[in-house]
């Protein structure tokens, strides 16, 4: 089946630094990728939608200058948390969807636990 590889699984960084999270579709071309943020015991909160080769669409309230999303190829999307602060600590999850898989192929990465100290 479809596999989405997300790295790193966890990262600790100092306040003020930037962190990049990668999301790769391993066996299919992901025309659309989604980035979510999840707080403990809560549902997934959509941050942004990105389509290959175009700018990401951010959800209301998500700072696009803080959360930089790049979807330069059909197999790779990256989320960069810039100038991270403790309140950015969270669980970040990517999801990829490809119409190649019958139009219903939502596959999730394993998530990245970000801790900003």
Q: How do beta strands 112-116 and 10-13 pair?
A: parallel
Distance CA(29)–CA(74), nearest Å, equals 5
x/- track of binding to other proteins for residues 53-92 (CB under 8 A): --------------------------------------x-
* HEC-encoded secondary structure of 42-65: CCEEEEEEEECCCCCEECCCCCCC
- Give min distance, CB of 83 to other proteins, in A: 26
Is position 12 an interface residue for other proteins (rule: CB under 8 A)?
A: no
In this chain, which of 11, 20, 22, 49 binds other proteins, going by CB under 8 A? 49
Is position 97 an interface residue for other proteins (rule: CB under 8 A)?
A: yes
**φ/ψ (deg, to 5) at 67:** -110, 90
Residue 37: CA atoms inside 13 Å, Cβ hemisphere, count?
16
CB contact set of 36 (below 8 Å; sequence gap of 6+): 44, 45, 46, 47, 92, 93, 94, 95
Of 12-20, 27-35, 69-77, 82-90, the segment contacting other proteins by CB under 8 A is 27-35
Residue whose CB is less far from other proteins, 86 or 103: 103
Binding site for other proteins (CB under 8 A): 6, 31-32, 34, 41-44, 46, 49, 51, 91, 93, 95, 97, 99, 103-104, 106-111, 113
């Amino acid at each position: 089946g479809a596999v989405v590889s997300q790295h790193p699984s966890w990262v600790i960084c100092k306040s003020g630094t930037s962190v990049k999270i990668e999301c790769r579709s391993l066996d299919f071309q992901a025309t659309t990728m989604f980035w979510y943020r999840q707080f403990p015991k809560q549902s997934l909160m959509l941050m942004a939608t990105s389509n290959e080769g175009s700018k990401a669409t951010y959800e209301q309230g998500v700072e696009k200058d803080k959360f930089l999303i790049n979807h330069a190829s059909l197999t790779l999307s990256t989320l960069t948390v810039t100038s991270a602060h403790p309140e950015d600590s969270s669980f970040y999850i990517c999801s990829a969807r490809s119409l190649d898989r019958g139009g219903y192929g939502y596959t999730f990465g394993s998530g990245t636990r970000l801790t900003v100290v």
